[in-house]
Amino acid sequence: MSEGPGALDRETRWSALGTKGGTIWLTGLSGSGKSTIALGLASELLRRGVHAYRLDGDELRRGLCRDLGFSAEDRNENIRRAGEVARILADSGSIVVASFISPYEAGRRDCRRVHESSGITFLEVFVDTPIEVCERRDPKGLYSKARAGEIRGFTGVDDPYERPKDPDLVIHPEEQTVDQSVALCLELLAERALIASLPG
C-alpha cells in the first residue's frame, strides 16, 4: 500500500523488520481481567521475539484522552482515538494488544473498519466475565462507588455494556487461567498469520 511520494510502503517496511502488524482488541467489563491477559500476551509475544505493544485504556485516559469525560459521546471519541493509535502502531509493524472496556458495539465496529480499510488485521476478543464476578473483584473500588451513586454512567451499572455479537474469540476467565487465555490469543494470532505457529 503506497504512503505517498518518496515514502516507504508498508510491505517494504514490514519485510525489512521481519514482522507483520495487526491489532488484537480485548473488550470486557471493568475488572474482567482483560488488562491482565493483555499484559501476559504482550509479554509472551516479546519473549518470542515478536514486536508487540500493549495499549491500555487507563494509559490513554492519562494522556491523549485526558480531555474526555465519560458521556456516551466522550466514550465514543476515546475509542475512536484508541482505534486510530492502534492502527498507526500496527501499520509500523507491531502486534498491538489493546485492552479497553469499549462498551459500545458501534465503536468497536468502527475500530475494525478503520483497520480493515487500511488493510490491517483487527481481531476482537471478548473477555466474558460475569458482572457479579467483576463486582466481587472490584480492584479499583469503582463498582462500590457506582452502586453508592458516587459515580454516574458506570458501565454495567447505570450505563450499558453491549456484548460483542460476533467476536473472533471469547475468553471465560472463570474457566480459564491467564496462561490458558494467553495461549488462546496466541492461537488466534497464528491462525490469522500474524505470528508463526510455534510449539508450546
> Of these residues, 30, 35, 94, 99, which one is catalytic?
99
Distance, in Å, from the CA atom of 48 to the CA atom of 109, rounded to the nearest integer, reads: 30
**Could you confirm whether 30 is annotated as catalytic?**
no
CA nearest neighbour of 128 among 24, 29, 25: 29
Number of helical H runs and strand E runs in the chain: 8, 5
Distance, in Å, from the CA atom of 83 to the CA atom of 74, rounded to the nearest integer, reads: 14
What contacts 70, CB < 8 A, 6 or more positions away?
A: 153
User: Residues with catalytic annotation?
Assistant: 99
